Structure 1
Amino acid sequence: MTQAAERARRGPLSGAAAALLVAVFIDALGSGLYMSVSVVFFTRYLHLSGGEVGTGLSVAGAVSFVSLVPIGVLADRVGPRRMLIGAHLVRAALLTCYPFVSGFAPFLLVVSLLAVADRAASPLVQGLFGTAVGKEQRVRAMGRARSLQNLGLALGGLVAGAALVPDSDGVYVGIVYANSLSFVLAAALVARLRTTADTAPDGGRPLPWKQRISVFRDRRFALLTGLNSVVSLHVTVLTAGVPLWVLAHDRMPRAAIAWTLVLNTVVVVLCQVRATRGIETAEDGGRALRRSGLLLAVCCCGLAVTGAVPTGAAVALLLGAVAFQAFAEMYQQAGAWAISYDLAPEDRRQVYLAFFSLGNAARNTYGPLVIAFLVVQRGAVGWLLLGALVLGAGAWAARFGQSLAAPAPLSSSPVPHVPGGIRGHRS
C-alpha cells in the first residue's frame, strides 16, 4: 500500500459516512429493544401459539431469502439510498400495524413483509457505505458500523430486559412503537445523505437483464459466497451451539450462556475496527477468512474439551473458546466485506451484495441443522468435525482469493466478470 493510500485509509470518515453510522446505531438500538420482547409480544399480546410463531418466522425467512436478489436488481436501478429509505419506512409502517393484527394469516403477512425489508437493509447499508467513503476506507467504515450495531443491540437488549419486569401489554406495545420510531429516524438521516449512489451508474439507462443477473454465472464469486457462508457458522456456534452444549452439561452454570453473549459483544465492539486493518482486496479477504476458520477451529477444539474437565476449568475453557469465536467473527466479517466490495462490478453492485448476503441467509437455515447433527448427536467429536469443516472452508477461501488477485485470462465469456479485470473494485 502506498503512503498516500495509507493516509487516505486512516483519515477521518466523510460526513455522509458519519451520518450513516448514526443511522446504523439508531436502527440497532430499536432492533435490540424489539428483539428481546418480540416473542413475548406475539404470544402474550397477539395471543398466537408457539407453533404459529415458529411457522410464521420460518415462512418469513424463506420469503426474505428469495427476495434478496430481486431487491438488489431494483436497488442497482434506483440507487441504494432511495431503497434503504424505503426499507426503513416500510419497517416502521409494518411495526405500527402489529398491535392491530388479529389471527395467524394477518400475522404471517406482516412478519413476512417485515422480514423482506429487514433482510434487504444489510446489503443496502453496505452498498451505501461503498459510495459514502473512498475505496480505502470501505472495510474500516463497515467495521465501525459493525461495532456500533453490536453496541446498539446490547443497549437495546438491556433496556428491554428492564421493561420485561412489569409484564405489561402497554410496555410491549410501547417497545414495538419505539422500534418503529427508530426506523423513521434512521430513514430521515439516510434521506439527508448525498452520495454518488443517487444516480444510476450507467447514466440512467437500465442494463440488459443478462447483465443484471450475471452474478448467477459468476462461479468464482458464488464459490466464495458459499465458503464465506460456511466460515460464518461462528454465528450459529454462539447462538445455538454453545447454549445447547451448556444445557447438556449439568455441572456448567446456566448463567454461562449469558456470559458468553456479553463477552462476544464486548470483544466485537472494542476490536472490530482494528480487525479490519490491512484487509481491502479479495486476496486480503480470502486470507482473513482463512484466519477466521483457524480461530473458529480452535474455538471448537476448546468447546470439545469442556465436557471432560471439572466445572471451573470448563467455564474458563468455555469463555476462552468464545473469545476465539469473537475474533473469528471479526475476521470473517472483514474478509466478507473486502471480497464483496472488491469483486462486485460498479454497475451491478447491489445485486452482487444481495447475492453475497444469500450465504448468510442460507447459514441461518442449515446452521442449526449442522449443530444438531454434529454437536447435539455426536458431542465432542462433533465439535472437532465442525472445526475441521470451517478450517477447510477458510483455507479454500484463501486459495481462491489468491487466484482472483491474479490477472484474469482473456475469455470469450459473454458477460465479463468486472470492468477492468478481476481486481477492479465494485465501488
Structure 2
Amino acid sequence: MTTTDTAPRTGLRAVLPHGRGVVTFGLSNLVSALGTGVFYPYTLLFFPALLGISLTQVGTVLSVTALVALPGMFWVGRLIDRLGPRTVLIAAALLRAAGFIGYVSIRHVAAFALFSVLIALCNRAEQAASPALAVALAPDGERNRWLALARTAFNAGVGGGALLGSALIAGGETALMWLGLANAAGFLVAGLVLWPLRTPTVPPADRAKLSRGPWRDGAFLVVVGFNSPLWMVALAVETSMSAYLIGTLGAPAWLAGTLFAVNTGLLMVFQLPLAPLLDRWGNLTVLLAGTLLTAVFLVAMALGGALGGTALVVLLLVGMVIYTAGELAVAHARYALLTDLPPPSELGSFMAFNQVAVGISGALVPFVVAALLDSAPAGLWWLMAALTVVTTVGVLAARPLLLARGQKQ
C-alpha cells in the first residue's frame, strides 16, 4: 500500500490531495460534471421540444425509468468488485455518451424510455464507482481529500456546464439537440481520460474473506439509513427552493439565483481546504454538526413567509451560508463513513447498495415537493427540518455501534 509523504505540508500542499493518478481522477470528474451541467438544468426544455410530449409525460418517464434501473445496481456492484471501479466508470461514461446520442437520433417515446433506463443505471454506477476508485488510488491518509476533490470537481463542472448550456440554447428550440451532443461529448472525454489509469488490485487474501453482504452489516445499514433521508433533504432544497421563493413568497427572481451561486461558490472554495480540519474532528461529530446546521436553514426557510423585503433577503443569505457549512460537513462525514465500513474487496457492492437506497428516497422527492408546494408550502420545510432532526437523533443513538466499528467520536 502506498504511503504518504512525511514532509510537512504548507500552502497548497496542505490542501490538495496527493498520489499517483490524482490529476487524472480529478480531471475525469470535472469533464463528466461539465457535461452534466450543460444538460441537467435544461432537462425539462430538452425532452418536450425534442419529442413533442408534455412535461407531465417527461417527468413520469424519468421517474419510472429511474426506479426500473435500480435493481441493476446489485449487478453493477459485483462488476466493480470483480473488474475494478476504473473499468466500470469507463463503461458507464461511454454508455451514457451513446445514450445521449440516441436521444437526439431516435426521437420516439419508447426510445426515450429505453435510453433513460440505461442512463439512469450508468449515473448510479458512476456514483458508486467513483468513491471506490478514490479509495483504490488514494495513499494512506489521503482518502477524504480525494473524495473532497471529486465533490469539488463536480460542483465546478456543473456550474461551468450550466453557463455553457445557457449559451448553447440561445439559438432556440432547434439548438436544444446540442445540449444532448455536448453531454455525450463530455462523457466520452471523461471515459477516455480514465483509459490510461491503472489501479491496484485487491489482494487475493482480502478477496477470499467471507462477508455477510451490505444488507446484513448493521453499522453500514445504519449509515445508509442516515444517508438516504439527508440525500432526500438535499434534493428537496435543490428542486423546490426557486419555486418556493418566487411562486410562494413572491421574492425577486434574482434571489434564488444568488442563493444557488453562494452555495456553489462556497462549496468550490472550501471543500478541499476544510477536509483536513474535518478529519481531525471525527466523522460522527462532523455529521452531527452538519445535520444541525442544515436544520437551522430549513427552519429559516419555513419562517421566511412571515418576512419580506430586506429582512427576507438577509435571513436567506445568512441561512444559505449556514446550510452550505452543513452540506460540507454532512458530505464529508457520510462519504467517509460509507467508504470506511465496507470490506475492501466488496466496496463496490456496498456502494451500489447505498445507491439503491438513495435512488428510492430520491424518487419520492418530486411527489413530496409538488404536493406540499401546492397545499402547504411552509410545511415542506418543516417536514424536511423534522426529517433532519430525526436523523440527528438517530446518529446519536447509533454512536455506540459505530464507535465499536472503529469510527472516531
Output the aligned Cα RMSD. Answer: 2.9
Matched, 1:32 2:34: no
Query: Is contact 1:301–1:384 with CA below 8 Å preserved after alignment?
Result: yes
Query: Is contact 2:16–2:145 with CA below 8 Å preserved after alignment?
Result: no
User: How far 1:182 sits from its partner (Å)?
Assistant: 1.5
User: How far 1:168 sits from its partner (Å)?
Assistant: 4.7
Counting only pairs closer than 5 Å after superposition, residues 117-128 of structure 1 correspond to structure 2 as: 117-128=122-133
User: How far 1:359 sits from its partner (Å)?
Assistant: 3.6
Matched, 1:252 2:251: yes
- Which one of 66, 74, 80 corresponds to residue 79 of structure 2? 74
Letter matched to residue 271 of structure 2 = Q
- Which one of 399, 403, 406 corresponds to residue 405 of structure 1? 403
Equivalent residue for 2:340? 342
Counting only pairs closer than 5 Å after superposition, residues 193-232 of structure 1 correspond to structure 2 as: 193-196=197-200, 199-202=201-204, 211=211, 214-232=213-231
Q: Distance in 2 between matches of 1:237 and 1:324?
A: 17
Q: Distance in 1 between matches of 2:373 and 2:54?
A: 29
- Which one of 175, 181, 186 corresponds to residue 177 of structure 1? 181
Helix, strand or coil: the match of 1:315? Answer: helix
Equivalent residue for 2:321? 323
User: How far 1:382 sits from its partner (Å)?
Assistant: 5.3
Change over 3 Å in CA distance of 1:247–1:278 after alignment to 2: same
Counting only pairs closer than 5 Å after superposition, residues 380-395 of structure 1 correspond to structure 2 as: 380=378, 383-395=381-393
Q: Distance in 2 between matches of 1:214 and 1:303?
A: 40
What whole-Å deviation, never above 9, does each CA across 1:133-191 have from its counterpart, x for those lacking one?
1241111111122112111111110111122222052x322332222122121111211
User: How far 1:345 sits from its partner (Å)?
Assistant: 0.4
Query: Is contact 1:287–1:401 with CA below 8 Å preserved after alignment?
Result: no
Q: Distance in 1 between matches of 2:387 and 2:184?
A: 40
Equivalent residue for 2:136? 131
Query: Is contact 1:285–1:398 with CA below 8 Å preserved after alignment?
Result: no
Counting only pairs closer than 5 Å after superposition, residues 227-306 of structure 1 correspond to structure 2 as: 227-280=226-279, 284-306=282-304
User: How far 1:11 sits from its partner (Å)?
Assistant: 7.1
Helix, strand or coil: the match of 1:55? Answer: helix
Q: Mind listing any 5+ residue stretches in structure 1 that lack a counterpart?
A: 407-421
User: How far 1:205 sits from its partner (Å)?
Assistant: 7.1
What whole-Å deviation, never above 9, does each CA across 1:318-346 have from its counterpart, x for those lacking one?
22222222222111110111101210101
Bigger mean CA deviation after superposition, 233-242 or 96-105 = 233-242
Q: Distance in 1 between matches of 2:361 and 2:221?
A: 14
Equivalent residue for 2:155? 150
Equivalent residue for 1:314? 312
Equivalent residue for 1:355? 353
Equivalent residue for 1:113? 118
Bigger mean CA deviation after superposition, 132-141 or 104-113 = 132-141
Matched, 1:165 2:170: yes
Larger RCO (alpha carbons 8 Å, 6+ apart): 2
Q: Distance in 2 between matches of 1:371 and 1:102?
A: 30
Change over 3 Å in CA distance of 1:42–1:400 after alignment to 2: same
Q: Distance in 2 between matches of 1:233 and 1:174?
A: 31
Helix, strand or coil: the match of 1:277? Answer: helix
Change over 3 Å in CA distance of 1:225–1:37 after alignment to 2: same
TM-score, length-normalised on structure 1?
A: 0.85
What whole-Å deviation, never above 9, does each CA across 1:108-130 have from its counterpart, x for those lacking one?
11111111111110110110011
Q: Distance in 2 between matches of 1:342 and 1:150?
A: 24
Q: Mind listing any 5+ residue stretches in structure 2 that lack a counterpart?
A: none
Query: Is contact 2:36–2:183 with CA below 8 Å preserved after alignment?
Result: yes
Change over 3 Å in CA distance of 1:6–1:232 after alignment to 2: farther
- Which one of 4, 23, 28 corresponds to residue 28 of structure 2? 23
Q: Distance in 2 between matches of 1:231 and 1:123?
A: 17
Query: Is contact 1:306–1:314 with CA below 8 Å preserved after alignment?
Result: yes
Q: Distance in 1 between matches of 2:370 and 2:285?
A: 29
Q: Distance in 2 between matches of 1:163 and 1:226?
A: 40
User: How far 1:229 sits from its partner (Å)?
Assistant: 1.8
User: How far 1:46 sits from its partner (Å)?
Assistant: 2.7
Identical aligned residues as a percent: 25
Query: Is contact 1:24–1:145 with CA below 8 Å preserved after alignment?
Result: yes
TM-score, length-normalised on structure 2?
A: 0.89
Change over 3 Å in CA distance of 1:381–1:89 after alignment to 2: closer
Letter matched to residue 173 of structure 1 = M
Bigger mean CA deviation after superposition, 306-315 or 7-16 = 7-16
- Which one of 62, 65, 78 corresponds to residue 60 of structure 1? 65
- Which one of 46, 51, 56 corresponds to residue 56 of structure 2? 51
Bigger mean CA deviation after superposition, 238-247 or 307-316 = 238-247
